[in-house]
C-alpha cells in the first residue's frame, strides 16, 4: 500500500517516538535516515515506509491492531504499575490516537484481548448492537447442581444492581466444577456476578475466544499484530 508523505516531526511525534521538539536532537545525532541517508531537517516530508531510526524501520504508521494474551495480575488501565501496556513498546503509550484495549479483562482474568488505536474498529467490537460472542473457561468453588445451564440460557438471570436480565448464555459442563461459557454481551464482571447470583464462586476465569479471535500458541504476555484479513473478519 502506498503511504502518503508527512512531515518528519509530525510523524515521529504521532507515533510516540518523541516530542516534535525532540526530533531535532535525533537529527543532530544522525539517528534518523531515509533510504540509508541521514536526515537533517525536521520539516522534511517523508514516506513513513522509508524512514529508519537507529537503522530500524518505524512502527506501522497507520492504526495498530493487536491480539494479546493477557496474563493474570495485569490490569487494563493506562496509569497503573500493573498495566498491560508494559508488555508493549513504551512509545505506543504516546501514539495519537491513543492505543487502547477493546473492552477490559480484570486483574484476575486471563486470555484473549484486542488492542487498537482505531476508534471505529474498537467501537465495532465493543458495541452491544453486534452481540460479539465471548467464550470463557470457568472454574467454580462448588460443584455444579445441574440447573445452571437452563437458567443461563433462559435470558432471565438478573444480576445484583441491574435492571435488565443478562442475555442468554450457552454453558457446557466440562467437569463437576469446570465449564465453558459463551456470553453475547460484556457487562462489568459479568461471569463472576452470574455465578454469584447462582450461589457459587468463580475461582479462575480465562477468555478463550473473542468473536473469531483465539490465542492459538501465544503465551501469557505475548502479542502479535493482526493481518489485514483478520482485521476484516466478522464475529
Q: Which of 126, 72, 71, 77 is nearest to 98 (CA)?
A: 77
Q: What is the pLDDT of residues 3-22, one digit of tens each?
A: 579 999 999 999 999 999 99
Rounded mean pLDDT, 193-213: 98
Whether residue 214 has pLDDT greater than 60: yes
Active site residue 106: yes
Cβ atoms 76, 101 nearer than 8 A: yes
**Distance, CA of 105 to CA of 77 (rounded, Å):** 10
> Do residues 142 and 200 touch, judged by C-beta distance below 8 A?
yes
Provide the pairing of β-strand 51-53 with 32-34: antiparallel
CATH architecture of 133-210: 2-Layer Sandwich (3.30)
Q: Are 63 and 21 in contact (CB under 8 A)?
A: no
- What value does the mean pLDDT take over residues 46-66? 95
Cβ(32)–Cβ(8) under 8 Å? yes
Cβ atoms 126, 102 nearer than 8 A: yes
**CA distances for 191 relative to 90, 109, 120, angstroms:** 32, 10, 27
pLDDT digits (tens, 9 = 90+) for 123-176: 999 999 999 999 999 999 999 999 999 999 999 999 999 999 999 999 999 999
Q: Do domains 6-57 and 133-210 have the same CATH topology?
A: no
- Which spans in 140-183 are helix H? 148-154
Percent pLDDT > 70 in the chain is: 98
The domain limits of the chain are: 6-57, 65-128+222-232, 133-210
Query: Do residues 165 and 157 touch, judged by C-beta distance below 8 A?
Result: yes
Q: What is 65-128+222-232's CATH number, 3.40.50.20, 1.10.3470.10, 3.30.70.580, 3.40.50.10420?
A: 3.30.70.580
Report d(CA 67, CA 121) in Å as an integer. Answer: 13
Q: Pick the catalytic residue: 47, 59, 106, 118?
A: 106
The pLDDT mean for the chain works out to: 95
Q: What pLDDT, on a 0 to 100 scale, did the predictor assign at position 1?
A: 47
Task: Please report which confidence band the pLDDT of residue 182 belongs to, taking 50, 70 and 90 as the band edges.
Answer: very high
Residue 229 has pLDDT above 60, yes or no: yes
Best CA proximity match to 109, nearest among 142, 78, 137: 137
Instruction: Please state whether 156 falls in left (phi above 0), alpha (psi between -120 and 50) or beta.
Output: alpha
Class of domain 6-57: alpha beta
Residue 234 has pLDDT above 70, yes or no: yes
Q: What is the pLDDT of residue 235?
A: 66
Amino acid at each position: 500500500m502506498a503511504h502518503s508523505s508527512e512531515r518528519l516531526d509530525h510523524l515521529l511525534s504521532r507515533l510516540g517516538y518523541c516530542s516534535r521538539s525532540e526530533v531535532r536532537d535525533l537529527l543532530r545525532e544522525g539517528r534518523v535516515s531515509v533510504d540509508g541517508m541521514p536526515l537533517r531537517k525536521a520539516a522534511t516530508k517523508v514516506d513513513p515506509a522509508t524512514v529508519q531510526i537507529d537503522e530500524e524501520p518505524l512502527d506501522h504508521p497507520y492504526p495498530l491492531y493487536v491480539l494479546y494474551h493477557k496474563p493474570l495480575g495485569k490490569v487494563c488501565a493506562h496509569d497503573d504499575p500493573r498495566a498491560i501496556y508494559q508488555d508493549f513498546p513504551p512509545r505506543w503509550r504516546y501514539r495519537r490516537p491513543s492505543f487502547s484495549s477493546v473492552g477490559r479483562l480484570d486483574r484476575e482474568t486471563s486470555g484473549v484481548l484486542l488492542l487498537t488505536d482505531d476508534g471505529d474498529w474498537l467501537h465495532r467490537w465493543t458495541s452491544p448492537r453486534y452481540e460479539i460472542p465471548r467464550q470463557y473457561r470457568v472454574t467454580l468453588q462448588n460443584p455444579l447442581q445441574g440447573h445452571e445451564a437452563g437458567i443461563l440460557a433462559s435470558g432471565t438471570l438478573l444480576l445484583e444492581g441491574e435492571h435488565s436480565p443478562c442475555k442468554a448464555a450457552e454453558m457446557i459442563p466440562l467437569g463437576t466444577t469446570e465449564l465453558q461459557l459463551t456470553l453475547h454481551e460484556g457487562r462489568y464482571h459479568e461471569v463472576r456476578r452470574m455465578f454469584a447470583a447462582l450461589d457459587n464462586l468463580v475461582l479462575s476465569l480465562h477468555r478463550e475466544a473473542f468473536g473469531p479471535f483465539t490465542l492459538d500458541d501465544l503465551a501469557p504476555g505475548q502479542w502479535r499484530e493482526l493481518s489485514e484479513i483478520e482485521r476484516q473478519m466478522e464475529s
